[in-house]
Amino acid sequence: MNLLHVIGFGLKVGHLLLILCCWFLSLISLNWLTNGGIMSNKSCLPGDGDKPWLKVWEQISECGSKVHHYYSQFIGSRKVRKNWWRKLLITWIGFGILASFTVLWYMSSQAVEKRKETLASMCDERARMLQDQFNVSMNHIQAMSVMISIFHHGKNPSAIDQRTFATYTDRTAFERPLTSGVAYAVRVLHTERDQFEIQQGWTIKRMGSNVDQTPVHEDEYDPAVLEPSPVHDEYAPVIFAQDTVAHVISVDMLSGKEDRENILRARESGKGVLTAPFRLLKTNRLGVILTFAVYKRDLSFDATAAERIEATSGYLGGIFDIESLVEKLLQQLASKQTILVNVYDTSNSSHPISMYGSNTSSDGLHRVSALNFGDPFRKHEMHCRFKQKPPWPWVAITTSVGILIITLLVAQIFHATVNRIAKVEDDYHEMMELKKRAEAADVAKSQFLATVSHEIRTPMNGVLGMLHMLMDTDLDETQQDYVRTARESGKALVSLINEVLDQAKIESGKLELEAVSFDLRAILDDVLSLFSGKSQDKKVELAVYVSSKIPPTLVGDPGRFRQIVTNLVGNSIKFTDKGHVFVTVDLVEEVKELMEMERDSKRTLSGLPVVDRRRSWAGFKIFNQERSTTSSSLGDQINIIVSVEDTGQGIPLEAQSRVFNPFMQVGPSITRTHGGTGIGLSISKCLVHLMKGEIGLASSPHIGSTFTFTAVFTNGCSNFNDPSNKKTPVSSEFEGMRALLVDLKPVRAKVSRYHIQRLGIHVDLNQDFSTLNSRKKTVNMIFIEEEIWDRDLGSLTTFFNDLKKVDPSTTPTLLLLSNSISSTRSSFSAFGVPTPFVVMKPLRASMLGASIQRAMGVGNRGNYRNGELHNLSLSHLLRGRKILVVDDNRVNLRVAAGALKKYGADVVHAERGKDAISLLTPPHHFDACFMDIQMPEMDGFEATRRIREIENTINSQIQCEELSVEAYGNVLNWHVRILAMTADVIQATYEECLKCGMDGYVSKPFEAEQLYREVSRFFQTLPENENP
**pLDDT one-digit tens code per residue, 309-326:** 888 999 999 988 888 778
SS3 assignment, position 706: strand
Evaluated on CA atoms 526, 530, 533, 536, the torsion sign reads: negative
Confidence at 671, pLDDT banded by 50, 70, 90: very low
Of 302, 328, 354, which closes a domain? 328
Q: Give how far the C-alpha of residue 842 lies from the chain's centroid of Cα atoms, to the nearest Å.
A: 26
The CATH number of whichever domain residue 676 belongs to comes to 3.30.565.10
How confident is the model over 679-698, as a mean pLDDT? 90
Domain boundary at 288, 308, 328, which?
A: 328
Residue 130 one-letter amino acid: L
CA distances from 634 to 501, 517, 639, 714, 844 (A): 38, 20, 12, 12, 33
In a domain, 993, yes or no: yes
Find all residues with CB under 8 Å of 59, minimum gap 6, and list them: none
The predicted model scores a pTM of 0.46
**Sequence letter at residue 571:** N
Peptide bond into 459 cis (omega under 30): no
Domain annotation covers residue 106: no
Q: What is the distance in angstroms between the CA of the first residue and the CA of the last residue of the chain? A: 58
Q: What share of the chain is helix, strand, coil (3-state, %, to 5)?
A: 50, 15, 30
Q: Residues 6 or more apart from 676 whose CB is under 8 A from it?
A: 574, 665, 670
Tell me the pLDDT tens digit for each residue of 923-962. Answer: 998 989 999 888 888 989 999 999 999 999 999 998 888 8
Q: Looking at the domain assignment, is residue 980 inside a domain?
A: yes
Between CA 619 and CA 407 the distance in angstroms is: 71
Contact 863, 432 (CB under 8 A): no
Mean pLDDT, residues 364-370 taken together: 85
Residues 541 and 607 in one domain: yes
User: What CATH code is carried by the domain that includes residue 226?
Assistant: 3.30.450.350
Residues 844 and 893 in one domain: no
Q: Where is pLDDT greater, at 736 or 565?
A: 565
Query: Among 280, 289, 269, which residue's Cα sits nearest to residue 138?
Result: 289
Residue 676 shares a structural domain with residue 581:
yes
Length of the chain: 1028
Q: Are 123 and 369 in contact (CB under 8 A)?
A: yes
Highest mean pLDDT among 98-107, 412-421, 512-521, 655-664: 98-107
Shared-domain flag, residues 696 and 593 = yes
Residue 174: enclosing H or E segment and its boundaries? none
User: What are the DSSP calls for 387-437, one per residue?
Assistant: SSPPPP-HHHHHHHHHHHHHHHHHHHHHHHHHHHHHHHHHHHHHHHHHHHH
Instruction: Enumerate the H helices of 541-664 as residue ranges.
Output: 558-575, 588-598, 627-630
Q: Name the least confident of 6-15, 340-349, 602-611, 832-841.
A: 6-15
How far is 937 from 913, CA to CA, in rounded Å? 8
Higher pLDDT: 873 or 457? It is 457
Residue 378: pLDDT over 80:
yes
Is residue 725 scored above 90 in pLDDT? no
Task: Count the helices and strands in the chain (H runs, E runs).
Answer: 29, 31
AA letter at 808: P
Distance CA 533, CA 821 (A): 9
Mean of the per-residue pLDDT values of the chain: 78
Provide the residue type at 786 as one letter.
E
Indicate the residue among 304, 328, 352 that finishes a domain: 328
Percentage of the residues of the chain whose pLDDT score is greater than 90: 18
Q: How confident is the model at residue 490 (pLDDT cuts 50, 70, 90)?
A: confident
CATH number of the domain that 971 lies in?
3.40.50.2300
Query: Looking at the domain assignment, is residue 35 inside a domain?
Result: no
* The pLDDT value given to residue 373: 83
Does residue 647 register a pLDDT over 50?
A: yes
Looking at residue 544, what is its pLDDT? 95
pLDDT of residue 510: 66
Residue 413, pLDDT > 50, answer yes
Q: Mean of the pLDDT values across residues 426-451?
A: 68
The dihedrals phi and psi of 383, each to the nearest 5 degrees, come to: -105, 130
- The band of 917, judged by pLDDT with boundaries at 50, 70 and 90, is very high
| Domain co-membership, 746 together with 624 | no
What's the pLDDT tens digit per position in 94-112?
Answer: 898 999 999 999 999 998 8
Question: Among 1009, 1021, 724, which Cα is nearest to 872's?
Answer: 1009
Average pLDDT for residues 721-746, to the nearest whole number? 71
What per-residue string of b and e applies to 187-209 under the rule 16 or more CB within 10 Å gives b?
A: bbeeeebeebbeebeebbbbbbe
* pLDDT score of 1021: 39
Res 596: pLDDT: 52
Q: What phi and psi values does residue 905 have, to the nearest 5 degrees?
A: -80, 150
Domain shared by 885 and 812, yes or no: no
Total structural domains within the chain: 4
Domain co-membership, 892 together with 832: no
Cα separation, 46 vs 1009, in Å, equals: 68
Domain of 773 in residue numbering reads as 731-855
The one-letter amino acid at 619: G
- CB-based contacts of 892, cutoff 8 Å, min separation 6: 458, 461, 462, 465, 932, 1004
Q: Residue 728: which of 838, 853, 839 has the closest Cα? A: 853
Distance CA 429, CA 422 (A): 11
Closest CA to 371 of 127, 135, 139: 127
Judge whether residue 176 has pLDDT over 60: yes
- DSSP string covering 299-358: --TT--HHHHHHTEEEEEEEEEEHHHHHHHHHHTSTTTTSEEEEEEE-SSTTS-EEEE--
Angle CA(67)–CA(72)–CA(77) in degrees, nearest 5?
A: 165
Of the ranges 398-402, 791-795, 889-893, 1014-1018, the best mean pLDDT one: 398-402
More confident position, 233 or 509: 233
User: Are both 703 and 743 inside the same structural domain?
Assistant: no
Torsion 776-778-783-787 (CA) sign: positive
Residue 246 has pLDDT above 60, yes or no: yes
Burial class (CB in 10 A: 0-12, 13-18, 19+), 349: exposed
Q: Which of 639, 663, 648 is nearest to 713 (CA)?
A: 639
Exposed, middle or buried, 755 (CB in 10 Å: 0-12/13-18/19+)?
buried
Q: DSSP assignment, residue 973?
A: B
CB burial of residue 287 (10 Å; 0-12, 13-18, 19+): buried
Question: Backbone phi, then psi, for 363, in 5-degree steps?
Answer: -110, 140
Which helix or strand (DSSP H or E) is residue 1008 part of? helix 1008-1019
Q: Is the pLDDT of residue 382 over 80?
A: yes
**Could you give the CA distance from residue 108 to residue 492 in angstroms, rounded to a whole number?**
52
Name the least confident of 437-441, 578-582, 611-615.
437-441
**Half-sphere exposure (Cβ direction) of 511: Cα atoms closer than 13 Å:** 22
Average pLDDT, integer, range 682-698 = 91
Same domain, 716 and 759: no
Q: Are 736 and 801 in contact (CB under 8 A)?
A: no
- pLDDT > 60? residue 49: no
Cα separation, 50 vs 592, in Å, equals 71
Contact 148, 184 (CB under 8 A): yes
Flag whether 21 is in a domain: no
Instruction: Quote the CA–CA distance of 862 and 769 in Å, as a whole number.
Output: 36
Reduce the DSSP state of residue 108 to 3 states and report it.
Answer: helix
768 vs 830 pLDDT, higher one: 768
pLDDT higher than threshold 70 for residue 439: no
Helix (H, G, I), strand (E, B) or coil at 573: helix
CA distance 802 to 644: 41
Q: 3-state class of 664 per DSSP? A: coil
Residue 463 lies in a domain: no
Check: CB of residue 919 under 8 Å from CB of residue 884. Answer: yes
| Residue 787 and residue 838 in one domain | yes
Task: Flag whether pLDDT at 707 surpasses 90.
Answer: yes
Q: What pLDDT score does 933 carry?
A: 86
Average pLDDT of the segment spanning 165-172: 90
Which among 311, 307, 267 has a CA at the least distance from the CA of 291?
267
Question: Angle, nearest 10°, between helix axes 85-148 and 322-331?
Answer: 130
Q: Is residue 354 part of a domain?
A: no
- Do 190 and 234 belong together in one domain? yes
Average pLDDT for residues 760-788, to the nearest whole number?
77
Give the per-residue pLDDT at 136: 82
Residues 526 and 558 in one domain: yes
Cα separation of 102 and 109, whole Å?
Answer: 11
Is 863 a domain residue?
no
Q: Residue 623: what pLDDT?
A: 76
